[in-house]
Amino acid sequence: MVLKEASAYLGVWLLCTLIPPLLTDEAVILPAPPDLSVHSTNMKHILTWSPVIVPGETVNYSVEYQGEYERYYTSSHWIPSSWCSSISTPECNVTDDITATVAYNFRVKAILGTQSSAWSTLKELFNRNSTVLTSPRMKIIKDGYHLIVEFEDMGPYFEFNVTYWKKSPNSQELYKIVREGGSLEHLVTMEAGAEYCVKAQTVVEIIERSSAFNQVECIRAQDESHLLALVLFSSTGLILLVVGLPLFIWKMSQLLRYSCCPVVVLPDTLKITDSPQKLISCKKEDIETCDTVVRVMYSEELFRSWIQETL
């Protein structure tokens, strides 16, 4: 009896003497990271939490997840997240971990040296069907009379439901599903001068949801009368060029010839009565002097004399 009491006292004494040092050792018991939540936009899922602060130390975190299958059939087995074991940022991209449209749970613990905190889990399970879908960014392009649309590439699950119509009374809306972003899609061959409008929404079939429609964008097809005017204008230009250029060249050559070898009516007294032979040699000389004249002539003078010639 006495022995029993003594051992009980000893036990209490041991507890009282041993625990306080243990407590002081664990004075910095690492708290579990609080405020877990999943932010999901356009099927990209980011798990965040509030950081655990230990002055002068870097706290790391590890993330694990559990889908419906693990929860119900593998006795609550947890799987380490693909990218987030011992990371120092208080967020984790869990997009690649979520592969089914079922309820997922996540848990995070803080790690400091050899210490680990308890796990903290999501307050509400996460299903990717709650992702926020933004309306798509699109570009409409006019290639001649072809109306072409292009969407940004938003990843493998995204399709685009395009609605388009000709802007005129009692015209019908038309639909087209564009299977992927990042490529050019022909919508319609437009009528000349008509205006066409386009709007679109994203559709994600695996979660059976779609976004709101984006802003309507309109574009006007080329007008045929404009085209006609253009053709007329350019052909007139061509005709002017075809006729005008030879005329100009002819005029220039005339000018050169006149400034070179002006036709002067010689007085009778100066008329050559010699043999043709002599005449030729004279002409030769004449031409040579002409050449010299041409070389010293300034372009300004040339121009002035040409103007005079023309007028």
Ligand X SMILES: *[C@@H]1O[C@H](CO)[C@@H](O)[C@H](O)[C@H]1NC(C)=O
**Binding stretches for ligand X (CB under 6 A):** 44, 60, 86-88, 93, 95-96, 127, 129-130, 161, 163, 175, 203, 210
Helix or strand run (H / E) with residue 195? strand 195-204
Closest CA to 161 of 193, 138, 128, 192: 138
Minimum CB separation from ligand X for residue 204, in Å? 10
Closest CA to 148 of 159, 136, 139: 139
Minimum CB separation from ligand X for residue 57, in Å? 11
Minimum CB separation from ligand X for residue 5, in Å? 48
Nearer to ligand X, 96 or 301 (CB): 96
Minimum CB separation from ligand X for residue 123, in Å? 17
Nearer to ligand X, 215 or 273 (CB): 215
CA-to-CA distance for 156 and 152, rounded, in angstroms? 12
Nearer to ligand X, 42 or 121 (CB): 42
CA-to-CA distance for 81 and 45, rounded, in angstroms? 12
Nearer to ligand X, 173 or 285 (CB): 173
- Tally of CB atoms within 10 A around 131: 20
CA-to-CA distance for 219 and 194, rounded, in angstroms? 9
CA-to-CA distance for 46 and 209, rounded, in angstroms? 20
Q: How far is CA 129 from the centre of its chain?
A: 27
Nearer to ligand X, 190 or 200 (CB): 200
Minimum CB separation from ligand X for residue 119, in Å? 17
Minimum CB separation from ligand X for residue 242, in Å? 54
Cβ 119 vs Cβ 76: under 8 Å: no
CA-to-CA distance for 197 and 203, rounded, in angstroms? 20
Minimum CB separation from ligand X for residue 16, in Å? 35
Cβ 108 vs Cβ 36: under 8 Å: yes
Nearer to ligand X, 137 or 283 (CB): 137
Nearer to ligand X, 37 or 210 (CB): 210
Closest CA to 38 of 121, 118, 111: 121
